[in-house]
């Protein structure tokens, strides 16, 4: 008997239907010498420390770091899991061959191998079903090309290493920081500080961005412009940081004629957009519709299971050569609902450029595309995601968008100006996308009249005063991009592709990382913005080890996992590095203590804090620093330990350099952090 294990009941039912296996039993479907059964995603997980040694149930610093010599497995404690696992185990023990039909990727392989190990069937013959699409034709084709399951041993090694590495770093760091700092206020209750190999660098990125914005000091500037024939011309030099310099040039051209000196038109060809991978789909869905990464993945997974799109958890934006014959057929099927969009395409001669077809850039799965099967009763979000994917797919085969960018130069009394305008000559692929709204102060797309070189006339010069702007808060769109590029802000497709190997997390896990931080109240959503909470800022302040907060370090670990997948390095070498890192993390972090000989540094200027008769203040008060922290908070008197904790955690990591109302601003922030430092019994007494 052959046993086929799918990741979810719905996928198992679809596979059984395609194979014409119809005899339904409790927990499986059988027929034609096969039994199709299913997991509920993860059924099996790693043991907790207390299950290795009962003494480890108690969290102590002395027991850390705890790194098992050999990891052991157990069932997840969810409803229905023991019963379903018993069905799978019984079937596997009776099987002559076991077929892995879980999701074709790292986590799918881990789900299957963990089930196989816990059921004691590792020695059984195994084969691998690798699906890119759930259409009947794709399922049948995949069954014709079953692989020996052990060809994916390296994929399993990477998956297992990821699981065990996250367990080692996350468990030890979480226990350490919770025991060391969870009773910050000296109370009996403990604050749980959850630390993770991947989630913590992402949180650090958000905290750092918020700090950049908070500490940003706007700098004034002045721009010289002039209006000639209803077109805004800008001074070609740099903008001015002092108004006197700008005013001098303004006075120089007042009352002087303006002359057109040159008109240069240049055609620009913008190539069609590339196909989606999961991360670029999530970014586009967030930018266009405000959908979260998790909601986008949920909708894409539902569309995949209803056979409308290919496998969504992909990191490739390319197709294989063997996909070429299928594309015209998919277009023909789409034509029913997308006739106008497909009409300009010659399906017999589609342009399969290197931006679409590249075998070298397809790893586990090709790009995310529609299958030609329309979605059945899609939700509103599913319909949005389906439209994004289908429009992108069709647009990839459209001709380039051809623009004419005209630069007009002018001069007034030797002061040179320039204006730009863009004219669409051939819309090409851009016809499928609504034109984005024009940004404020953007004049490159202004309509230009027919200027002639040498023409001259009156103009209206002016000075515009502005201020430099801080970087923008993260949105899920920009945060996903930064995670993909290991913390770097990269908009260029080519550069982002080169950094993918070193990204934080994988396309399949990035949404879950963001959701975990939200659930633990370390970050929050404010409309489209992603902001760090005071809890999140406090956690990052507690962590003294820079590597644990480093996006690039985490990106290097992800790169190592991909090398394990490709058999380029051994999993044991990677795990030894993880173990060494964890031992070092605990030993170096243990050196951090609250210094009882001092109060801390001023969060405004960095000088030492001193204690006065009624309050704590900055030792630089004679030099103008106005920071004061009174021990009374609401109805409570803060203890000296609480004062030291708040000031020495460096919650405001960089001096704020704020002149106006520093005490009010800082206390509004520290006041919220006192919730973390106070025991719960005290928190219940106060009203903020």
The residues carrying an active-site annotation are 311
Strand 616-618: give its sheet, edge to edge: 609-611, 616-618, 628-629
Q: Which DSSP letter does residue 613 get?
A: S
DSSP track, 643-662: HHHHHHTTSS-S-----SSH
Cβ neighbors of 441 (< 8 A, separation 6 or more) are none
Q: How many CB atoms lie within 10 A of CB 254?
A: 12
**Is the peptide bond between 65 and the residue preceding it cis, with omega within 30 degrees of 0?**
yes
Cβ neighbors of 254 (< 8 A, separation 6 or more) are 461
H/E element, 278: helix 278-289
Comparing CA positions, the residue from 171, 251, 309 lying closest to residue 461 is: 251
Give the span between the Cα atoms of 302 and 306, in whole angstroms: 6
682 touches 185 (CB < 8 A): yes
Comparing CA positions, the residue from 574, 524, 535 lying closest to residue 184 is: 535
Comparing CA positions, the residue from 83, 102, 80 lying closest to residue 15 is: 102
Give the span between the Cα atoms of 550 and 555, in whole angstroms: 9
> Of all residues in the chain, what percent are helix, strand and coil, respectively (each to 5)?
40, 20, 40
Tokens linked to 89: 């185990």
Cβ neighbors of 583 (< 8 A, separation 6 or more) are 65, 67
Q: How many CB atoms lie within 10 A of CB 661?
A: 11
Q: What angle in degrees, to the nearest 10, is found between the helix axes of 534-542 and 662-677? A: 80
Which spans in 411-550 are helix H?
A: 476-484, 493-499, 510-519, 534-542
Cβ neighbors of 162 (< 8 A, separation 6 or more) are 106, 110, 561
* HSE value, Cβ hemisphere, 13 Å, CA-based, for 223: 15
Tokens linked to 301: 């997974």
Give the span between the Cα atoms of 532 and 89, in whole angstroms: 45
Comparing CA positions, the residue from 191, 215, 211 lying closest to residue 203 is: 211
Distance, CA of 10 to chain centre: 28
Give the span between the Cα atoms of 7 and 571, in whole angstroms: 25
Which spans in 445-570 are helix H?
A: 476-484, 493-499, 510-519, 534-542, 551-565
């Amino acid at each position: 008997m052959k046993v086929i294990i799918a990741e979810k009941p719905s996928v198992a039912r679809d596979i059984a239907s395609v194979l014409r296996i119809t005899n339904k039993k409790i927990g499986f479907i059988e027929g034609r010498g096969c039994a199709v059964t299913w997991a509920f995603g993860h059924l099996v997980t790693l043991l907790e420390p207390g299950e290795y040694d009962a003494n480890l149930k108690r969290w102590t610093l002395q027991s850390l770091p705890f790194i098992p010599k050999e990891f052991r497995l157990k069932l997840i404690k969810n409803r229905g899991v023991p019963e379903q696992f018993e069905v799978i185990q019984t079937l596997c023990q009776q099987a002559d061959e076991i077929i892995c039909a879980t999701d074709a990727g790292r986590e799918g392989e881990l789900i299957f191998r963990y089930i196989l190990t816990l059921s004691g069937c590792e020695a059984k013959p195994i084969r691998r079903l690798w699906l890119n699409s759930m259409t009947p034709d794709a399922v049948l084709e995949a069954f014709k090309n079953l692989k020996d399951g052990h060809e994916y041993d390296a994929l399993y090694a990477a998956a297992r290493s990821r699981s065990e590495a996250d367990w080692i770093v996350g468990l030890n760091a979480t226990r350490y920081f919770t025991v060391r700092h969870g009773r910050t206020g000296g109370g009996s209750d403990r604050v749980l500080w959850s630390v993770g190999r991947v989630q913590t660098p992402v949180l650090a990125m958000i905290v750092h961005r918020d700090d950049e914005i908070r500490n940003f000091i706007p700098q004034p500037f002045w721009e010289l412009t002039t209006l000639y024939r209803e077109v805004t011309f800008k001074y070609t030099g740099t903008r001015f940081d002092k108004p006197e310099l700008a005013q001098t040039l303004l006075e120089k051209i007042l009352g002087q004629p303006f002359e057109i000196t040159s008109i240069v038109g240049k055609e620009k060809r913008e190539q069609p957009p590339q196909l989606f991978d999961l991360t670029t789909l999530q970014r586009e869905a967030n930018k266009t519709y405000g959908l979260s990464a998790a909601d986008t993945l949920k909708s894409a997974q539902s569309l995949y299971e209803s056979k409308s799109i290919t496998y969504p958890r992909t990191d490739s934006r390319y197709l294989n050569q063997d996909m070429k014959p299928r594309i015209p057929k998919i277009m023909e099927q789409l034509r029913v609902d997308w006739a106008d969009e497909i009409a300009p395409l010659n399906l017999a001669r589609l342009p399969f450029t290197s931006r679409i077809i590249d075998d070298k850039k397809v790893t586990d799965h090709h790009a995310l595309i529609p299958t030609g099967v329309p979605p059945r009763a899609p939700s509103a979000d599913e319909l949005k995601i389906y439209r994004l994917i289908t429009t992108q797919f069709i647009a990839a085969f459209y001709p380039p968008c051809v623009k004419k960018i005209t630069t007009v130069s002018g001069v007034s009394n030797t002061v040179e100006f320039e204006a730009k305008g863009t004219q669409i000559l051939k819309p090409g692929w851009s016809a499928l996308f609504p034109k984005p709204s024009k940004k404020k102060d953007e004049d490159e797309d202004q309509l230009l009249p027919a200027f002639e070189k040498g023409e001259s006339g009156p103009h209206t010069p002016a000075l515009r005063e502005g201020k430099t702007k801080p970087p923008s808060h993260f949105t899920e769109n920009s945060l996903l991009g930064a995670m993909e590029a290991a913390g770097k802000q990269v908009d260029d497709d080519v550069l982002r592709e080169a950094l993918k190997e070193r990204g934080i997390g994988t396309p399949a896990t990035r949404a879950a990382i963001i959701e975990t931080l939200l659930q633990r109240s370390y970050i929050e959503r404010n409309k489209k913005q992603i902001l760090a909470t005071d809890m999140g800022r406090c956690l990052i302040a507690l962590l003294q080890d820079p590597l644990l907060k480093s996006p690039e370090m985490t990106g290097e670990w992800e790169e190592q996992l991909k090398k394990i997948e490709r058999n380029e390095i051994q999993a044991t070498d990677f795990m030894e590095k993880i173990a060494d890192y964890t031992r070092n993390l605990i030993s170096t972090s243990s050196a951090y203590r609250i210094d009882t000989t001092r109060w801390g540094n001023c969060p405004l200027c960095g000088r030492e804090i001193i204690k006065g008769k009624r309050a704590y203040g900055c030792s630089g008060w004679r030099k103008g620093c106005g920071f004061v922290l009174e021990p009374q908070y609401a109805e409570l008197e803060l203890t000296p330990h609480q004062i030291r904790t708040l000031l020495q955690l460096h919650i405001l990591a960089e001096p704020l350099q704020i002149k106006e109302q520093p005490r009010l601003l800082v206390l509004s922030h520290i006041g919220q952090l006192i919730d973390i430092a106070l025991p719960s019994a005290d928190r219940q007494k106060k009203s903020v």
